[in-house]
Structure 1
Amino acid sequence: MPNDIESSILIVDDSKINVRIISKMIEELGHQIYVASNGIEALKLLTKFKPTIILMDIKMPKMDGFSCCQRIKRSASRADIPIIFMSGSHDKSDIDKAKAIGGKDYLTKPINIELLKQAIDFNMPWS
């Protein structure tokens, strides 16, 4: 990652443990971190800033990741943000739906840190 380009990652996950693990790894890579515990919080944050990438859980209270992704992709100013889904589901229909609604990648939990790093690097706009 070029040093003169600031990147930020929005983590949307209701699991505090997942957020803590992922945040630690992202901080070590030099990215700014924002956190939302559900889709509604994520949409509110997105009115204030535009992250470089969104890491999105699927199953969350109030608004799930699929619904949140669909709303983000309908926003002309936010539709280009890459969304990487993170889920405990290995169900092919969930993986297919994630990609059909605009998800750039799909990682299963527990998150493999190396695969997450690769997904983040691959989806950065300058890569």
Structure 2
Amino acid sequence: MTNPLPAWDTTVLDTATIIDIPDRLPEQPDPHLRLALAAMTSQAAGHPDTTIRVARLAHAGIVAIRTSIGCFEIRELLDGWLLVHHPGDPDPTDLAAAALLRARRLARTRLARTRLARTRVADSGNGT
């Protein structure tokens, strides 16, 4: 069996970065800083659009958001994306390696689920 590809372009992890959110924002924050702020605010408020914002950060090669209150790792899940508190001061290369392993594992899980669903549909057509 060949290994399935992750659901996103993981080559961005070759240049993984941690975005720093300063206590005082610049007048014209760059788009990734604005997106990171929006993702954190969205997740804190429990909005369903959080996963889209966090995914956009990941797809840009951002592996974590660092603030004065802590660091938050960007994590891919089976059904979306999430910011997870990360203790200490993580290394972007380590986080990128973990993200790549996670993406590959999730790709295998998604493929297995798809195959299982197809098998169940085929079996239900046979009366089993």
Q: TM-score, normalised by structure 1?
A: 0.34
Q: Say which one has the larger Rg.
A: 2
Q: TM-score, normalised by structure 2?
A: 0.33
Q: Compare relative contact order (CA 8 Å, sep 6+) and give the higher one, 1 or 2.
A: 2
